Amino acid sequence: MRTTATAWSARAADAVIRREPVVGTRWAYEWATLLKGVDQVRRATADRRYLEYIRSNVDRFVGDGGIATYAREAYDLDGVAGGPLLLRLYRETGEERYRAAAAILREQLRAQPRTPSGGFWHKRIYPDQMWLDGIYMAGPFYAEFAVLFGEKAALDDVAAQITLIAERTRDARTGLLRHAWDESRRERWADPATGRSPSAWGRALGWFVMAVADVLELLPEHSAQRDRIAPVLAETMDAVKSVQDDATGVWWQVVDQGGREGNYLEASASCMFVYAAAKGVRLGLLGRAHLDAARKGYEGILAQFVTASADGDVTLRGTCAGTGLGRRPDEPDMTYRDGSYDYYVRRPIETNDHRGLGAFLMASVELERASGGP
């Protein structure tokens, strides 16, 4: 499929480039998510302007193979999220510095602290905790690096990370995954019996299903890893589809509490679910009903969250601000993030947030691809 300039994906990517020629002041997952969306538009259009935009922003951090502002000692999975951009630039340019920078992130994963069950800690400051977010931050890069450089055992580990967190965060009643799991049960937000956090937050689920879809695309069609994690995508997306808002087609901030006082329709999770559903159908892993749900969701996204001006600007409203759990060791107790319903629905709402825009670009490319064009 060759996307045209009139498609939403290209329109939104062009608006991003005009509005933000430079993104980010530190190595961070937020703008990496945006640039990964731009890269999917690049692959759909074969327009090298998008590659140059990605390269100019990555090159602000990657010089001779190091990564400016990146701190391995934090063992923060968020810091690995830019890895696929490095691998893409290495493939496109052949420049060794991108491979060397990617290898730095791979070395972090070799040393990443793990829970007793073998799951990566989300960050060093969150001992024994796995967050759904972390599967997206590290999983697709980990898998792509393993495929590119022949690390079969690493692919087994990627599958193990996905299945472990799905098993430990899944609510048996709804089939939905909770935001995080603390194997130690020490954290205040952790259920003392299961270690799960209290709520099914939309974007955490969105990160997870996007990651699983991306990993599955990288794996050989007939492989033990694919057979192991494909049912995880199917089961989770069935649960996600069941809580899609009938009236608007999009999803709520706390996905299984639609219509409850304070809850709001949220853009980034909606885009992520549409992307994972459409991609899962394209890969032959989800049934046709999921493509219908994705199309309904995408129409809802355009109606609820997207505006376009006469001068070509494209705006995405309705994205939840950065949201976590617990607190950093240097923060006061009053800032504690308890993972409750009230915590999530009180999170601020942003416009043109990089997480939401990146997911919108990805969802747009997948829906355009499913439709054979705009």
Query: Where are the chain's structural domains?
Result: 8-370
Residue percentage of the chain with pLDDT more than 70: 98
Per-residue model confidence (pLDDT) at position 6: 65
| Predicted structure pTM score | 0.97
Q: What is the pLDDT of residues 194-207, one digit of tens each?
A: 999 999 999 999 99
Long-range contacts of 68-73 (CB under 8 A, 24+ apart): 68/27, 69/26, 69/27, 70/27, 70/104, 72/104, 72/107, 72/108, 72/111, 73/124
Spell out the CATH class of 8-370.
mainly alpha
pLDDT at 331: 81
Interatomic CA distance for residues 323 and 358, integer angstroms: 17
CB 186 within 8 A of CB 251: no
5 has a pLDDT exceeding 90: no
The HSE-up count of residue 189 (CA atoms within 13 Å, CB side) is 24
% of the chain residues with pLDDT over 90: 93
Q: Which of 97, 4, 79, 89 is nearest to 39 (CA)?
A: 89
Q: Identify the active-site residue in 128, 133, 214, 256.
A: 133
Here the tokens at position 249 are: 């087609």
Give the pLDDT of residue 1.
46
10 beta partners: none
Catalytic residue list contains 133: yes
